[in-house]
Amino acid sequence: MTWRAAALLAAGAVTLPLWPAPFAGVALMTVAVLGLTALDWALAAPLAAISAARDGDRRVRLGGTATVTLRLANASARTLRAQVHDDWVPSAGARPDLPPGRLVRVEPGDTVALPTRLTPLRRGDRPAAALTVRSYGPLGLAFRQRAGRPGTPPWTLRVLPRFDSRRHLPEKLSRLRVLAGTQVARGRGEGTEFDALREYVAGDDVRSIDWRASARRADVLVRTWRPERDRRLVCVLDTGRTSAARIGDEPRLDTYLDAALLLTALAARAGDRVDLIAADTVLRAAVTGAGRPALLARLVDAVAPLQPALVETDFGLIAGEVLRRERQRGLVVIFTALEAGALGEGLLPVLPRLAARHRVVVAAAHDPVLAALTRDPPTRPADAYAAAAAFRALAERDRVRAALARHGVTVVDAPAAHLAPAVADTYLRLKALGRL
């Protein structure tokens, strides 16, 4: 029953002073209202004949708006007057086009489309939770409503990472082009991989003359070099507990994803093969960079649903996984936090195995709050204590850096906002030095 039944009864109560037998009037009116309500309930469109389906966007970038349309089909012989409540998880930011209180009217055999606009608040998979249809009778006195009828059509909106560091991509790509020599004349020093032999022309560096080849031919030949291509690059994302902590407004993992995506885009353009592994105690995601053209899209799709797990990361598993997948020597970029406990007990024991086969870079994002604590002049006693605590944390981080550096690991430690360009710069530098 609805408020209308209650209002009817309350309105009838006003007439009671006029009744000769008031209590008989109460009984009569109550029975009448309940009878009307029952009749209305019987006349409401049956829920079993209603079916629901969805179509619309499957993916949306964080910050964007997607539209998913719910289609209600009325297969019964009665007109459906219904209140439809399409529940999504709260972080999906669902706003139905139709106001929630408005009645939907569907004629028999007809279908109605109910679009919902979704502006998700967080990255990851945002599922539709529950569909509730409340079918009213023609008088609006009673309704039929039952959980799971019609069944909720499943739908999951995948919210992709924002990839804010895209804006760094043109600059890094132009530096890459300088490296590759497509903008500047090729010359020695711009690469370490042997490219071809060609005839000497005036202006070439005499040091690059290949005397043995010149002796075989009647000409003076010089060797040309080019940057290495087809190198292996593995991005390892630590999705353990340290990646759950927030830096600014987002978890640390999102910072890692941003940097990993920029690195992938850059390396794919440079002709390297990029793999990605995300793991904590189990392997969460693994992408192998076989098909280059769609690599970035596939990678984004694979990392979008990653969520931090509140467990200690098993670096032994990660090392085993990397060693199993990558036979050739390659660059392994581990995105994690420079934390003495997590790295000292997890990463350092397995690091020698990894560093013997691959070149390892540890990329860590730190909180700019920490730097601000050590930088700003203290004004209160609490600031002095905070500065001491921050210095202590930085000293601990430096110890971890030193321990990692002893194994020949390059450490990139940057504030969260600058991690992506810093990692890209490191990659470009290593590529320029031919150290991949």
Partner 1 sequence: MTADPPRPGPAPAPAPAAATAGPASATATAGSTPTAATTGPTPTAASGGPGAPGRANRRRRRWHRLAVPLGLAALLITATLVAHAVDQPDPTEPGFLSPVATDADGGSRLAADLRARGVAVRRETDTARALLATSGGAATLFVPAPGLLHPETVGALRDLPGRTRLVLVDPPRRVLEGADLPLVPAGRRWAARAVGPDADGRPCPLPEAARAGVAAVERQRYAVAPDRSTGRVERCYAGGLARVPQTETVVVGASDPFRNDRIDERGNRELAAGLLGRTGQVVWLDLDGPAPPPRPGDGSSDEPAWSPHPEPGDGDAAGDGRSGDAGAGDSAGSGSRGGTGRADRPSPPNPLWAAFPAWFWALLAQLTLAALLLALWRARRLGPPVAEPLPVVVRSAETVLGRARLYQRARARGPAAGTLRAAALTRLLPRLHLPADPPPTTVAAAVAARAGGTTAQAHTLLYGDAPATDRELLDLARALDRLTRTVAATPDPRPADAGPPAPAPADTGPAPAVAPRPRPAPSKEDPR
Window 137 to 176, contacts with partner 1 (CB under 8 A): 145, 147
In sequence order, which residues have a C-beta less than 8 Å from that of residue 159 and are 6 or more positions away?
59, 60, 61, 62, 120, 122, 123, 124, 125, 126, 304
134 counts as binding partner 1 under rule CB under 8 A: yes
Of 60, 350, 373, 428, which lies in the binding site for partner 1, with binding defined by CB under 8 A? 373
221: number of CA atoms within 13 Å, CB side? 15
* Nearest alpha carbon to residue 286 among 316, 327, 314, 318: 318
User: What is residue 220's three-state secondary structure?
Assistant: coil
In sequence order, which residues have a C-beta less than 8 Å from that of residue 418 and are 6 or more positions away?
none
Min dist CB 151 to partner 1, Å, is 14
317 counts as binding partner 1 under rule CB under 8 A: no
Whose Cβ is closer to partner 1: residue 88's or residue 163's?
A: 88
* Nearest alpha carbon to residue 145 among 78, 65, 218, 48: 48
Size of the chain, expressed as the number of residues it contains = 436
118, 121, 123, 125: CA torsion to nearest 10 = -50
375 counts as binding partner 1 under rule CB under 8 A: yes
345 counts as binding partner 1 under rule CB under 8 A: no
Min dist CB 206 to partner 1, Å, is 29
368 counts as binding partner 1 under rule CB under 8 A: yes
Span 297-316, contacts to partner 1 by CB under 8 A:
307-308, 310
Of 246, 292, 329, 399, which lies in the binding site for partner 1, with binding defined by CB under 8 A? 246
- Joined together, the tokens standing for residue 243 give 């990646």
Of 116, 420, 426, 432, which lies in the binding site for partner 1, with binding defined by CB under 8 A? 426
In sequence order, which residues have a C-beta less than 8 Å from that of residue 198 and are 6 or more positions away?
221, 222, 224
Min dist CB 238 to partner 1, Å, is 14
Show the DSSP H helices in 149-294 as ranges: 169-180, 211-216, 252-269
Q: Taking contact as CB under 8 A, which single stretch among the options 25-33, 163-171, 230-238, 265-273 is the one that binds partner 1?
A: 25-33
Span 54-93, contacts to partner 1 by CB under 8 A:
83, 85, 87-91
Pattern of binders to partner 1 over 102-131, x per CB under 8 A? --------------------x------xxx
Whose Cβ is closer to partner 1: residue 195's or residue 425's?
A: 425
Total of chain residues touching partner 1, rule CB under 8 A: 83
